[in-house]
A and B are shown apart, each in its own frame.
Chain A
Amino acid sequence: KNQVEQSPQSLIILEGKNCTLQCNYTVSPFSNLRWYKQDTGRGPVSLTIMTFSENTKSNGRYTATLDADTKQSSLHITASQLSDSASYICVVSDRGSTLGRLYFGRGTQLTVWP
């Protein structure tokens, strides 16, 4: 069964600290993996996309990694800010159609305290 599992479910860190969010998937075949950030009461916004051949990709203070062999991805946030408080959603696409079917994780709720 194609699934996307994220951990931890929630996380509280102090401002300025680093953190790492995990995403494990069983989706096959695999096309790409995206991390989205969803602020409370808003729609998700794409942070990064990882394809099969990519291991690491950065977007400012966000760095995503992908291990296609173990089917794991992580999102590392450096020097956290209060504005990083949000839900981070991992979305995996297969190659079953023109767009690819999307499988969503439940998200990690990150809270950054001052």
Chain B
Amino acid sequence: EADIYQTPRYLVIGTGKKITLECSQTMGHDKMYWYQQDPGMELHLIHYSYGVNSTEKGDLSSESTVSRIRTEHFPLTLESARPSHTSQYLCASTRNTGELFFGEGSRLTVL
């Protein structure tokens, strides 16, 4: 079982609120990722990090931001949530094998 944790699992908030989705892993992986997944659709990469103080935007444009101050921690922040941000957000990490270890996901609903 993968040692990567996401909180909260479910979040319902109002438009305009600031939210932070937490992601932590205890496997010592350098590479971490945030994906967005809508029902019936493929995962889209929104942010990634190859190590501390290294963050890059992914393929899918996102208004969210990330930080990587510690190896094990990769939080995602939305400064002002909108209904269009409603989705499932999956955090993942890997060493160099290419196998991604995913967290359980954070399902965000913005009213």
Contacts and interface: CB of A to CB of B under 8 A. Distances in A.
Interface residues of A, number: 25
Given A32-B98, A93-B98, A98-B96, A42 B42 contact: no
B40 A43 contact: no
B105 A41 contact: yes
B66 interface: no
Contacts of B104: 41-43
A9 B40 CA distance: 9
B105 A104 contact: no
A104 B43 contact: yes
Give the dominant DSSP class at B's interface: loop
Contacts, number: 52
Contacts of A106: 40-42
Interface string B8-51: 00000000000000000000000100000000111111000000
Given A43-B90, A43-B92, A106-B42, A99 B98 contact: yes
A9 B4 CA distance: 29
Given A41-B105, A99-B31, A99-B94, A46 B100 contact: yes
A104 B40 CA distance: 12
A87 to B, nearest CB: 9
A100 interface: yes
A102 B94 CA distance: 13
Contacts of A46: 99-100
A43 B42 contact: no
Contacts of B96: 98-99
A34 B90 contact: no
CB-CB nearest 9 A-B residue pairs: A43-B102, A104-B42, A104-B43, A106-B42, A46-B99, A44-B102, A43-B104, A43-B103, A43-B105
Given A43-B102, A46-B100, A102-B100, 17 more contacts: A31-B98, A34-B98, A34-B99, A43-B4, A43-B92, A43-B103, A44-B43, A44-B90, A45-B2, A46-B99, A93-B98, A99-B94, A104-B43, A105-B42, A106-B40, A107-B42, A109-B40
